[in-house]
Amino acid sequence: MYEPSGRPRPLSTQAARLILIFLAIAFVSTQTLSGQALRVAGASGLPGGKLNCSLRAEPKTLNPVFAMDVSSRAVTSVMNADLLHINRKTDVVEAGLARSWEVSRGGQTYTLHLRRGVRFSDGAPFTADDVLFSFRVYLNPDLNAPQRDLLIIDGKPLQVTKVDSLTVRFDLPRPYAAAARLFDGLAMLPSHLLEPLEKSGKLKDAWSIATPPAQLAGLGPFRLKSYRPGQAVILERNAYFWKQDPAGHALPYLDEVDFAFLANQDAESVRFAAGQLDLLARLSADSYAVLEKQAPQQHFQMMDGGPGLEFDFLLFNLNSDVAGRLPEAAAAQKWFSQSVFRRALSLAVNRDVLVNLVFQNHAAPLATPVTPASQTWLNPLAHPDKQDLPQARALLTSAGFQSRDGALFDSAGNRVKFTILAPSSNRQRSEIASLLRRDFAELGIDAQVVSLEFRSLLQRVTQNHDYDTAVMGLSAGDTEPNGNLSLWLSDGSLHLWNLGQKHPATQWESEIDDAMHRQMYMTNMAERRKTYFRVQQIYREQMPFLSLASPHMLGAAQAGLLGVLSSALDPAMLDNVAVFSWKR
């Protein structure tokens, strides 16, 4: 309603207007401070408090470019941010440092619009130049950043162009199906701090665990406060963080995050029970079960995030360089090279018992290396094999194997026996090996378990190829098919059953190669799914290794900690650490 200006306004109205103006100014000022801050839907909490976490090992580096081990990744992921981010709950790519993006030229060009007013944790503004610098680092062949291989599509690196100070264009050599997901986890680096180091060739050694906090800056919710060698990394709230809750409060809520180094899981559980740790990620099923028993009295939040991306499997040695060089492995290979034999072994394995005994039911039996965490990409027709000994025996008989006095012999009259390598440091995989041995014994197969130190086992599997079978576990890099690329492709580094192939050794491997290459560049989702389903179907027919189980992502948090979410992708439980808060 309009009021004539001549009349004096009541004092209350004036006060109200003053308050309004004040609020408006306040709002504008926060707007200019945080520019176009990201409003995190559903976040609400009280600021303050401290989070105590643990790491099983000391981080090797604080440099997000070279962080390869779990500990370094956990710390750097909290200290850094990416342009686009995969929502861990929905598995959909969402805006991050880029507030929006456009795809053009049939999926070959991505134009990203950066948020205005974003600042690094040292207060320096974040602009397109930082993006350019970051990608120059990731793509630099001399630096060998582990992310580099992901950014090379069809043999050519993607092109990065600055359009203006807040717009960056990425040109892909080919339309790439999962291009938007590439940006997830690529930390944007402060060019003002790192460019001088890059120029002098010292980037590789930059941001070690001994670097003083003032020389580090990131875009993540927390920044380094101090590093205590051998003891802990202490992070403090990044006052310049660019996310807000719906009420407009700046995130993160927490003032401090401490990562203590504690190599022993039992000690970790004790500290958690004592309330000295607030959050446990990557719990083993055993520790989880122990804590679960105390949960009702202590009000722990026990978090079973369902299957992760790890798959445990029995690897057959199908390497072609074994013949002549390693007679024993070659003898076993005569059996392993028959897909019928491999399928029969798969039918002999009781995956339900395995899941129950080894993982206390906190795992999912697997049909293929694609775990249930990749819901969209899991072939609905591929069911995990149930133990079916009669059928397994029938398959073996059909392949010319004979059973005499409970022992299995091949058509040449040789007793079927081989060894199963298991890493001595990993109790669960050792247990899996002994369960497999028992299951195979049902078929009359004499399988011996051999425990080896992890690196010795790796050397045999990846370099010597001196083994019969091995129980191993791998983690896919992503929920979508490209996360398993190096496993499927016959020249991939994780094509463990037959490494170092110049050309696909078998017809079916070449068919998988072909399908995997095709799906990479498909933009039609349905078609891509169909192609990946076909790959899984070929796997089911050939069974080059036995997929066994995928352990759940297990974690625990103290009762008062709000906002904790367990996810399959890295960092396991800390992805939304910005919205963690303490209940009052």
Partner 1 sequence: MHPLARRLLYSLVSLIAISMLCFALLRAAPGDYFSELRLEPGLSQKTLTTMEEQSDLSKPLIERYALWCKAAVRGDFGLSLTYHLPVVQLLGERIANTLMLAGLGLLGAWILGLLLGSVTGWPAIAARAFAALLWSIPEPILALLLLLGALRFHALSPLVEISSPAGSSWMHLRSLAGRIALPALAMTLGYLPVVLRHVQRGLDAARRAPAVEAARAHGFTRRRILLSYLLPEAATPLISLLGLGIGSLLSASLFVEVLFGWPGLGQLLLNAILARDTNIVVAGVLCSAVMLITGNLFADLLLWLHDPRLRAVAR
Show the DSSP H helices in 489-566 as ranges.
507-520, 525-542
Dig out the tokens for 152 from the structure. 């090379």
Cα–Cα dist 120/64, whole Å: 15
Q: Give the type of residue at 50.
A: K
Residue with tokens 């027919």: 541
Interaction between residue 230 and partner 1 (CB under 8 A): yes
Min dist. Cβ of residue 453 to partner 1 (A): 7
Q: Is the peptide bond before 327 cis (omega within 30 degrees of 0)?
A: no
**Closest by Cα among 536, 509, 535, 541 to 320:** 509
Q: Residue 483 interacts with partner 1 (CB under 8 A)?
A: yes
In angstroms, the Cα distances linking 45 to 200, 246, 247, 583 are 45, 11, 10, 8
Specify the stretch interacting with partner 1 by CB under 8 A; choose among 243-251, 414-422, 450-458, 524-532: 450-458
Which value, to the nearest 10 degrees, does the dihedral of the CA atoms of residues 396, 398, 400, 403 take?
50
Picking from 145, 224, 154, the residue whose alpha carbon sits closest to that of residue 185 is 145
CB atoms within 10 A of CB 118: 24
Task: Indicate whether 310 belongs to the interface with partner 1 (CB under 8 A).
Answer: no
Stretch that binds partner 1, among 126-134, 220-228, 284-292, 430-438 (CB under 8 A): 220-228
Q: Does 451 bind partner 1 (CB under 8 A)?
A: no
SS (H, E, C) 106-117: HHCEEEEEECCC
**Which region among 40-48, 103-111, 429-437, 449-457 touches partner 1 (by CB under 8 A)?**
449-457
> What one-letter code names the amino acid at 401?
F
**Pair 113, 131: CB distance under 8 Å:** no
Does residue 203 bind partner 1 (CB under 8 A)?
A: no
**Binding test (CB under 8 A) with partner 1, winner from 166, 262, 281, 366:** 262
With CB under 8 A as the contact rule, which of the stretches 20-28, 154-162, 412-420, 468-476 interacts with partner 1? 468-476
Footprint of partner 1 on residues 275-294 (CB under 8 A)? Answer: 276-277
The label of the residue with tokens 């004040």 reads: 22
Does 52 help bind partner 1 (rule: CB under 8 A)? yes
Q: Which of 58, 198, 245, 468 binds partner 1 (CB under 8 A)?
A: 58
| Phi, psi (degrees; rounded to nearest 5) at 84 | -120, 155
Is residue 517 a contact point for partner 1 (CB under 8 A)? no
For the chain, the residue count is 584
192: contact with partner 1 by CB under 8 A: no
Burial state string for 182-193 with b = 16 or more CB within 10 A and e = fewer than 16 = bbbbbbbbbbeb
> Is residue 148 near partner 1 by the rule CB under 8 A?
yes
Q: Judged by CB under 8 A, which stretch of 32-40, 165-173, 280-288, 488-496 contacts partner 1?
A: 488-496
Q: Which residue has the tokens 């402060």?
A: 190
Of the residues 34, 61, 519, 547, which one makes contact with partner 1 according to CB under 8 A: 61
In DSSP terms, which residues pair with 102 in a beta bridge? 111
Q: Which of 293, 462, 514, 583 binds partner 1 (CB under 8 A)?
A: 462
Query: Per rule CB under 8 A, is residue 321 in the interface with partner 1?
Result: no
CB of 315 to partner 1, least distance (A): 12
The 3-class secondary structure across 362-424, one letter per residue, is CEEECCCCCCCCCHHHCCCCCCCCCCCHHHHHHHHHHCCCEEECCEEECCCCCECEEEEEEEC
Among residues 330, 340, 382, 474, the one that binds partner 1 under rule CB under 8 A: 474
# residues near partner 1 by CB under 8 A? 63
Nearer to partner 1, 61 or 76 (CB): 61
**493 lines the binding site for partner 1 (CB under 8 A):** yes
Q: Give whichever of 114 and 470 is closer to partner 1, judged by the CB atom.
A: 470
Answer for which of 57, 323, 381, 559 binds partner 1 (CB under 8 A) is 57
> Considering the rule CB under 8 A, would residue 494 count as an interface residue with partner 1?
yes
Interacting residue ranges for partner 1, rule: CB under 8 A: 52, 54, 57-58, 60-61, 66, 68, 141, 144, 146-150, 204-205, 208-210, 225-226, 228-232, 234, 256, 258, 260-264, 266-267, 270-271, 273-274, 276-277, 453-456, 458-460, 462, 474-477, 483-487, 491, 493-494
